[in-house]
Amino acid sequence: MENLRAAAARTRHTFVAVVFIAASALPLGALAEAPGAPPTVLPGDPVLDRLIEESLSVRPELRAATARARAERERVPQAGALADPTLLFGIQNDGFNGLQIGKMDTSFWQILLTQPLPWPGKRGLRTDAAELGARQVDADVARARLTTEADVRREYLGLLLARDRLALLGKLEGIWQKSAGIARTRYESGEAAQSDVLRAQLELNRLRQRRWNLEAEERARIQALNRLRARPLDETIVTTTSIRDLPVPALPPLEAAVSDAESRSPELAAARLGAEQASKAAALARRERFPDFTVSAGIMPRGAIEPMWTASVGVTLPIWTGRKQNRAVAEMEARADSGTQNAEAIEQVLKLRVKDRRTALAALLDSLKLYREGLLVQSRATADSTLAQYQVGRVTFASVLEANVGYINDEDGYLESAVDAQRIAIASAEVSLEPVGSTSAGAMSASAVPGAGGMSSGRPGAAASAAAGGAPASETPPSSSPSSSGM
């Protein structure tokens, strides 16, 4: 027995030394803020790049927006075109006893052409307003492209998370199988209670149920990605990376992030174009106070008698200016003011979203640094040490369960924090106006992850995770027993 305890102690000390040496080699510098760094560039891999390209080429929402923009562009030349001329054919005859053309001076055929002409400047203003309207629809196309790419990235991130959690579940199964084997050995030798064996077997059975839930989540992500690229929903998607392989998003300077968002936001661009279009419409309404013209020219053949001709210029009389043109000017000026205020409101919201995302990302980066610098290593060392001590009878099986819960929760917490950071980076690239975390794919629930209920609000990064979209960890009731098989 003494030899067994000594061997266990040597194993435990060797493992702790190895894991701390490995921790010192982690690229922690990648987690630090880069003060002069440009706005975040999203990571990619060949699989993700292909999925994005396919979705951009076939997604119906993007095609519809492109068709609307094409249709709106066709309206620009129409707005500045002259009104169609009127060609009039007629006859004037003296009496009803027969045609008198060529016999009577006042009998003739008539060909008359009339062309309306707007007051100078009106056509240009109409063209400018239509051009600004078309550019607003171009902003809709830009939004559709950004959203398409972001949707693919979010679903792909969710797929990676589901597969990483399946791998973590496999690691947990290995831990429980090892624990079950030790418990069985100690029970057979009379050093442990039968309840230890039964509890280990119970946890292994529970893991099978968790695996089914995770596999369902994986299939849902695959189906969503296939829908985004118009492929059969159950077509296999092979991934070549994991959440841990993704570079940690950099924390850009606030001024650079705001400037980047303002320059790329389709909503802000559309709002500013709308305000400018309303200003053009107000200028056009003021110009409508001036009259339009009508130019006419015609010829009246009279047979053998010399033909007559006519030319005239007509002008509209804006005598109802008080009820029409003046009211139109007031209307358009009010719309222009509304457009300006709308653009200012969007700009304020955009700055708020950038600030919120940056604050949440900073908290997540601190959390990830803490995980990688110590928590993951210490948690794994604690779990292995506790199992070794149980093997020699120095701790209870409940301590083994508690240590395993803490280790797996920390591993899953690291994945969750890393995913939340990636989601924030995706929202930044999308220039989303949605509140921080509203597009989050969500954290794994207690029904999907073993021991998820054991994640308390004390987990590092819990506040940042809540800010990134998931509910605060405190909203999930902790496990009533430390023997829950956490993940």
**Residues facing residue 297 across a β-bridge:** 113, 311
Residue 44 has pLDDT above 80, yes or no: no
Asked whether the predicted pLDDT for residue 149 surpasses 80, the reply is yes
Q: What is the pLDDT, as a whole number, of residue 318? A: 87
Q: Are the beta carbons of 424 and 468 closer than 8 angstroms?
A: yes
pTM confidence score = 0.73
Phi-psi region of 133 (alpha: psi -120 to 50; beta: other; left: phi over 0): alpha
Q: Per-residue pLDDT averaged across 208-228, rounded?
A: 91
Closest CA to 62 of 150, 155, 188, 194: 150
SS3 of the chain: the string is CHHHHHHHHHHHHHHHHHHHHHHHCCCHHHHCCCCCCCCCCCCCCHHHHHHHHHHHHHCHHHHHHHHHHHHHHCHHHHHCCCCCCEEEEEEECCCCCCCCECCECCCEEEEEEEEEECCCCHHHHHHHHHHHHHHHHHHHHHHHHHHHHHHHHHHHHHHHHHHHHHHHHHHHHHHHHHHHHHHHHHHHCCCCCHHHHHHHHHHHHHHHHHHHHHHHHHHHHHHHHHHHCCCCCCCCCCCCCCHHHCCCCCCCCHHHHHHHHHHHCHHHHHHHHHHHHHHHHHHHHHHCCCCCEEEEEEEEEECCEEEEEEEEEEECCCCCCCCCHHHHHHHHHHHHHHHHHHHHHHHHHHHHHHHHHHHHHHHHHHHHHHHHHHHHHHHHHHHHHHHHHHHCCCCCHHHHHHHHHHHHHHHHHHHHHHHHHHHHHHHHHHCCCCCCCCCCCCCCCCCCCCCHHHCCCCCCCHHHHHHCCCCCHHHCCCCCCCCCCCC
Beta-strand pair 293-302/305-315: antiparallel
The CATH homologous superfamily to which domain 2-475 belongs is Outer membrane efflux proteins (OEP) (1.20.1600.10)
> Between 405 and 263, whose confidence is greater?
263
CA distances from 254 to 37, 249, 259, 354, 439 (A): 11, 14, 9, 8, 22
**What is the pLDDT at residue 224?**
94
Query: What pLDDT, on the 0 to 100 scale, is given for residue 266?
Result: 94
pLDDT digits (tens, 9 = 90+) for 372-391: 888 888 878 887 788 777 77
Q: State how far the alpha carbon of 346 is from the alpha carbons of 41, 268, 359, 378, 434, in Å.
A: 24, 6, 20, 46, 11
pLDDT: which is higher, 45 or 63: 63
Contact predicate 293/315, CB 8 Å: yes
pLDDT: is 353 or 441 the higher one? Answer: 353
Kindly tell me if the per-residue pLDDT of 475 is higher than 50: no
pLDDT of residue 187: 64
Q: How confident is the model at residue 438 (pLDDT cuts 50, 70, 90)?
A: low
Which one, of 473, 454, 11, lies nearest residue 203 by Cα?
454
State residue 437's pLDDT score: 65
- The more confidently predicted of residues 458 and 329 is 329
Give the whole-angstrom CA distance, residue 243 versus residue 156.
Answer: 10
Average pLDDT estimate for 149-169:
92
Q: Is 99 a residue whose pLDDT tops 70?
A: yes
Q: Which of 186-195, 327-336, 351-360 has the weakest average pLDDT?
A: 186-195
Question: Among 35-44, 57-66, 143-152, where is mean pLDDT lowest?
Answer: 35-44
Q: Which of 72-81, 201-210, 464-473 has the lowest mean pLDDT?
A: 464-473
Question: What distance in Å separates the CA atoms of residue 3 and residue 276, rounded to the nearest whole number?
Answer: 85
> 7: pLDDT confidence band, cut at 50, 70 and 90?
very low
Using the predicted structure, report yes or no on whether residue 252 has a pLDDT greater than 90: no
Counting Cα atoms < 13 Å in the Cβ hemisphere of 452 gives: 23
Q: Is pLDDT at 4 greater than 90 in this prediction?
A: no
Distance CA(131)–CA(356), nearest Å, equals 35
| Confidence bin at 449 (pLDDT 50/70/90) | very low
Where exactly are the structural domains of the chain? Answer: 2-475
- Supply the pLDDT for residue 486: 41
Identify the weakest region by mean pLDDT among 151-155, 165-169, 428-432. 165-169
Q: What is the mean pLDDT of the chain?
A: 79
- What is the layout of strands, in order, in the sheet containing 305-315? 86-92, 108-117, 293-302, 305-315
